[in-house]
C-alpha cells in the first residue's frame, strides 16, 4: 500500500472513531448527567439527539460543498469543531451550555463523516474500495464496542471525562488531515433552498416525535410541527428536482442501485442506533444496573459487529455481496425480535445482541461499497454526504422512536424516575410498563430491518426480470 492510501485510511478512521465513540460513550452517561446538571428527561433526550440531528442537516451540505471547494480544508475544520465542542462540553456548568457544545460536536461530526468515504473513494481503486470501506467499518465497529466501556469507566470517575477523552484524538486527526491531497475544484452556482427546506423538515419531525407522545400527537402545537414537516419536505423535493446546483443532490436517487441501498441503509440504521440505546436504557433504568456494568454487558453487541465488519472487508466476497446484505438484514430483524421477548439479562439476551450486531456488520460494508460505486466519480462527495445524512436520519428517528414509544407506556410525571431506576411508590407497576414499552421498541426496531430486506429483495427481483 502506498503512503497516501495509508494516510487516507488512517485520517478517516480517526474521524470515524471520534464521530461514533462520541455517541456510544455518552449513552452510558445520560442518567448521571441528568442528575448532575439537574435537568429533565426530555432535555436529556435533546442532549443526545441534537448531535446526530446537526450531522443530519450538515452532512449533505458539507459533502456536496466538498465537490466544489475540495475536501482537505473541510475535513480539518471538522476536527477543529470537534475539539472546541468537546472542550466546551467538558466545562459545561449547565444543560443549555452542554446542548450548545453538542451542536459544535455535531458540526464537526458532519464535516468528518460526510467526507470520509469520499476521501477513501478518491484514494483507492474500485477493486480496492470494499477493503478500504471494510477497514473503516471495522474502526466504526471497534468504536461502537469501546464507546460504552469507555463511557462506563469514565463516568465512574466523572462524566465530563467522556468529552475530555475526545480531545487528543481530535488534535492528532487534525495534524494528519493537513497531509490529505486536494481534489480538482469546480466552480458552480449553489442552490441553498433545498437545504433550508430539508433542515426545517428534519428539525420539525424530531420535535414532533420527542415532545408529542404525552399528548398522543393530537394537540394543536404538535400537529403544527407535523404539518410544517410535511410542507417543508414537499418543498425540499420540488426545489431540488431537476437541478445540478443543489447542495443536497437528490438526483442521485435516479440511480436504482444507489436508491435501493440508500433506503436499506436508512431502515437498518434505525435498528443499528436504537437497539443499543434501548438495551442501555433497559439495563440502567428498570433493571437498575450500574453504568460500568451496563457498558460491559453490551460489549457482545459491538464486538460481533466488529468481527463481521472485519470478515466482510478482508475475505473475498465479491460474488456474495447481495447474499451478505440479505443475511445481515435478516439477522438484524430476528435478533431484535428475540430481544423484544427479553425482560432480564440471560442467555437469550446475549444471543439477541450478537445476532443484531453481527447482522449489522454483514450488511454495512457491501451495502456501502455498492452505494459509493454506483455514484459517478465527480459526485462522490455528494454520495458520501447523502449516505451520512441517511445514516443519521436513521439514528435520529431511531432514538426519537425509543423515547416516543416508552413515553406512551410510562406516565410523564414518573418517566424520569423510571429512566434513572429510582424506586418510588408503585415502582414495580412503572417498571413493568417501562419494560413493555422497551419490548415494543425492540419490535419496531427489528421491523425496520425487515422492511430494508424487502426493499433489496424487490430490487433484485426487478433486475432479474429486466435481464430475462
φ, ψ of residue 271 to 5 degrees: the values are -65, -45
Cell 467538558, residue located: 90
3-state DSSP call for residue 466? helix
Cell 436520519, residue located: 393
Q: For residue 346, count CB atoms less than 10 angstroms from its CB and return exposed for 0-12, middle for 13-18, buried for 19 or more.
A: exposed
Give the pLDDT confidence score for residue 453 in this predicted structure.
93
As given in the structure block, the three cell numbers for residue 390 are 441517511
From the list 253, 150, 174, the residue with the least C-alpha distance to 11 is 174
Q: Which residues contact 302 (CB under 8 A, 6 or more apart)?
A: 24, 141, 142, 144, 145, 146, 147, 148, 276, 357
Determine the straight-line distance between the first and last CA of the chain, rounded to whole angstroms: 41
Cα 307 to Cα 108, 137, 294, 314, 338: the distances in Å are 28, 10, 21, 11, 21
Cα 330 to Cα 180, 323, 357: the distances in Å are 39, 11, 12
pLDDT digits over 217-226, tens only?
677 777 888 8
Cα 156 to Cα 24, 280, 294, 345: the distances in Å are 16, 16, 12, 22
Angle at 202 between CA 459 and CA 379, to 5 degrees: 55
**Ranges of each domain in the chain:** 3-190+247-467, 191-246
**Helical pair 72-90 and 166-177, crossing angle rounded to 10 deg:** 160
From the list 254, 288, 276, the residue with the least C-alpha distance to 360 is 276
From the list 114, 154, 146, 419, the residue with the least C-alpha distance to 296 is 146
Looking at domain 3-190+247-467, what is its CATH homologous superfamily?
MFS general substrate transporter like domains (1.20.1250.20)
Q: Which residues contact 143 (CB under 8 A, 6 or more apart)?
A: 16, 17, 20, 21, 24
As given in the structure block, the three cell numbers for residue 184 are 480538482
Rounded to an integer, what distance in angstroms lies between the CA atom of residue 302 and that of residue 308?
10
The stretches in the chain having pLDDT less than 50 are none
Rounded to an integer, what distance in angstroms lies between the CA atom of residue 176 and that of residue 165?
18
Give the pLDDT confidence score for residue 355 in this predicted structure.
94
Instruction: Compute the radius of gyration of the chain from its Cα atoms.
Output: 21
Amino acid at each position: 500500500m502506498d503512503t497516501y492510501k495509508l494516510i487516507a485510511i488512517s485520517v478517516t478512521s480517526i474521524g470515524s472513531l471520534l464521530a461514533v465513540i462520541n455517541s456510544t460513550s455518552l449513552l452510558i452517561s445520560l442518567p448521571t448527567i441528568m442528575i448532575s446538571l439537574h435537568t429533565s428527561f426530555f432535555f436529556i433526550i435533546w442532549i443526545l439527539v441534537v448531535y446526530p440531528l446537526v450531522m443530519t442537516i450538515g452532512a449533505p451540505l458539507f459533502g456536496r460543498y466538498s465537490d466544489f471547494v475540495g475536501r482537505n480544508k473541510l475535513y480539518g475544520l471538522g476536527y477543529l469543531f470537534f475539539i472546541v465542542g468537546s472542550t466546551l462540553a467538558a466545562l459545561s456548568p449547565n444543560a443549555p451550555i452542554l446542548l450548545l457544545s453538542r451542536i459544535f460536536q455535531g458540526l464537526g461530526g458532519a464535516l468528518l463523516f460526510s467526507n470520509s468515504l469520499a476521501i477513501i473513494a478518491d484514494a483507492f481503486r474500485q477493486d480496492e474500495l470494499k477493503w478500504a470501506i471494510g477497514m473503516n467499518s471495522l474502526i466504526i465497529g471497534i468504536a461502537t464496542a469501546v464507546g460504552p466501556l469507555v463511557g462506563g469507566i469514565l463516568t465512574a470517575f466523572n462524566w465530563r471525562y467522556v468529552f475530555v477523552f475526545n480531545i487528543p484524538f481530535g488534535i492528532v486527526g487534525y495534524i494528519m488531515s493537513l497531509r490529505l491531497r486536494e481534489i480538482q475544484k469546480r466552480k458552480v452556482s449553489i442552490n441553498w433552498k433545498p437545504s433550508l427546506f430539508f433542515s426545517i423538515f428534519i428539525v420539525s419531525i424530531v420535535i414532533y416525535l420527542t415532545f408529542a407522545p404525552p399528548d398522543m400527537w393530537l394537540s394543536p402545537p404538535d400537529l403544527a410541527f407535523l404539518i410544517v414537516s410535511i410542507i417543508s419536505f414537499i418543498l425540499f423535493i420540488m426545489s431540488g428536482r431537476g437541478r445540478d446546483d443543489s447542495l443536497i443532490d437528490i438526483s442521485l436517487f435516479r440511480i436504482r442501485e444507489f436508491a435501493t441501498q440508500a433506503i436499506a441503509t436508512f431502515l437498518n440504521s434505525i435498528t443499528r442506533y436504537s437497539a443499543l440505546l434501548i438495551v442501555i436504557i433497559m439495563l440502567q433504568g428498570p433493571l437498575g444496573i450500574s453504568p460500568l456494568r451496563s457498558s460491559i454487558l453490551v460489549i457482545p453487541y459491538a464486538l460481533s459487529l466488529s468481527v463481521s465488519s472485519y470478515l466482510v472487508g478482508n475475505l473475498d466476497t465479491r460474488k456474495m455481496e447481495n447474499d451478505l446484505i440479505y443475511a445481515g438484514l435478516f439477522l438484524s430483524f430476528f435478533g431484535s425480535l428475540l430481544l423484544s421477548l427479553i425482560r432480564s439479562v440471560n442467555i437469550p439476551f446475549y444471543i439477541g445482541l450478537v445476532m443484531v450486531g453481527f447482522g449489522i456488520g454483514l450488511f454495512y460494508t457491501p451495502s456501502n461499497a455498492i452505494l459509493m460505486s454506483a455514484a459517478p466519480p465527480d459526485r462522490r462527495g455528494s454520495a458520501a454526504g447523502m449516505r451520512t445524512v441517511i445514516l443519521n436520519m436513521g439514528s435520529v428517528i431511531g432514538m426519537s422512536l425509543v423515547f416516543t414509544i416508552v413515553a406512551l407506556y410510562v406516565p410523564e410525571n414518573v418517566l424520569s424516575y423510571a429512566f434513572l431506576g429510582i424506586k418510588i411508590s408503585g415502582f414495580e407497576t412503572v417498571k413493568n410498563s417501562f419494560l413493555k414499552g422497551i419490548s415494543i421498541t425492540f419490535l419496531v426496531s427489528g421491523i425496520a430491518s425487515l422492511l430494508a430486506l424487502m426493499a433489496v429483495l424487490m430490487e433484485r427481483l426487478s433486475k432479474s426480470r429486466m435481464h430475462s
